[in-house]
């Protein structure tokens, strides 16, 4: 076994265990911390696949985002820090129903649409050229410009929405009144 394979096995094992802990941990804050470990391991897997850029972005985006998420968990939920919170709500059967339906629908969708399996053209994965190609593919009309712009608009909508929600009540009334 090479060092690469040993590393992969260890990291993959940690990732799976941590992912299980995310859903079974009774404390919300702990669940968020396990999620960080899982995503960190995924970043290491990206490194092992020679996709350094994705690994670095994974850490930069997710770990910062989860730090914010923990704050929101503490501010918005009751007993976020306590250990004895119950794991199931009264409507657990409805949640299972929704999840199962979504899963079935997704499987159905993937089987009905054949070209999804083909996937987009892979980028060449060598150093500097990879970054150049990644950047160009995001603004290329024939490749990913549509998903890229849709994602941008989604983020813009979220941004404007959060500003509207956060505006003090007086300003909101004044603007809608005039």
Partner 1 sequence: MDSVLNDTFVWFAGLLRDLLESLGIPADYVTVLLLLVGAFVLATILLLSTFILIWAERKIVARIQDRLGPNRVGPFGVLQTVADLMKLVTKELITPIGADIIPYNLAPLLAVMAVVGIWAVMPFAPTFIGADINVGVLYTVSIGAIGTLGIMLAGMSSNNKYALLGAFRTVAMMISYAVPMVLALVIPVLLASSMGMSSIVEAQSNFSWFIFLAPVAAFVFFVSSIAEVGRAPFDLLEAESEIVAGFHIEYSGLKFGMFFVAEFLHAFTISALFATLFLGGWQGPYAEIYPVLGLVYFLIKTSLVYFVVIWIRASFPRFRIDQINSLNWKMITPIALGAIIFAAITEKLVQETGLNQFLAHATANVILIVIILVSLRLYASAARKAQAQKDELAIPVSQASPIE
- Residues of this chain that bind partner 1 (CB under 8 A): 2-3, 29-30, 33, 36, 52-53, 56-57, 59-60, 63-64, 66-68, 70-71, 74, 81, 127-128, 131
Least separation in angstroms between residue 173's CB and partner 1 is 20
Q: What is the 3-state secondary structure (H, E, C) of 45-56?
A: HHHHCCCHHHHH
Please, which residues have CB within 8 angstroms of residue 1's CB and are 6 or more apart in sequence? none
Nearer to partner 1, 15 or 32 (CB): 32
Cβ-in-10-Å burial (0-12, 13-18, 19+) of 18 comes to buried
Nearer to partner 1, 57 or 156 (CB): 57
Say how far residue 14 (Cα) sits from the centre of its chain: 18
Least separation in angstroms between residue 56's CB and partner 1 is 5
Report d(CA 135, CA 41) in Å as an integer.
25
Least separation in angstroms between residue 63's CB and partner 1 is 5
Nearer to partner 1, 99 or 131 (CB): 131
């Amino acid at each position: 076994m090479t060092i690469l394979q040993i590393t992969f096995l260890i990291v993959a094992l940690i990732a799976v265990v941590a992912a299980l802990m995310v859903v079974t941990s009774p404390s919300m804050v702990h669940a968020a911390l396990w999620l960080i470990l899982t995503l960190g391991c995924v970043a290491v897997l990206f490194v092992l696949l020679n996709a350094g850029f994705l690994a670095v972005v994974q850490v930069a985006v997710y770990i910062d985002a989860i730090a914010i998420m923990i704050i929101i968990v503490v501010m918005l939920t009751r007993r976020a820090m306590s250990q004895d919170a119950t794991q199931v709500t009264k409507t657990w059967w409805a949640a299972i129903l929704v999840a199962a339906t979504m899963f079935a629908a997704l499987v159905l969708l993937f089987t009905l649409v054949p070209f999804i399996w083909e996937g987009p053209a892979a980028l060449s994965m060598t150093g500097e050229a990879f970054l150049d190609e990644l950047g160009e593919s995001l603004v290329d009309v024939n490749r990913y410009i549509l998903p890229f712009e849709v994602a941008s608009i989604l983020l813009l909508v979220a941004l404007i929405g959060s500003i509207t929600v956060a505006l003090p009540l007086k300003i909101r009334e004044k603007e809608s009144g005039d």
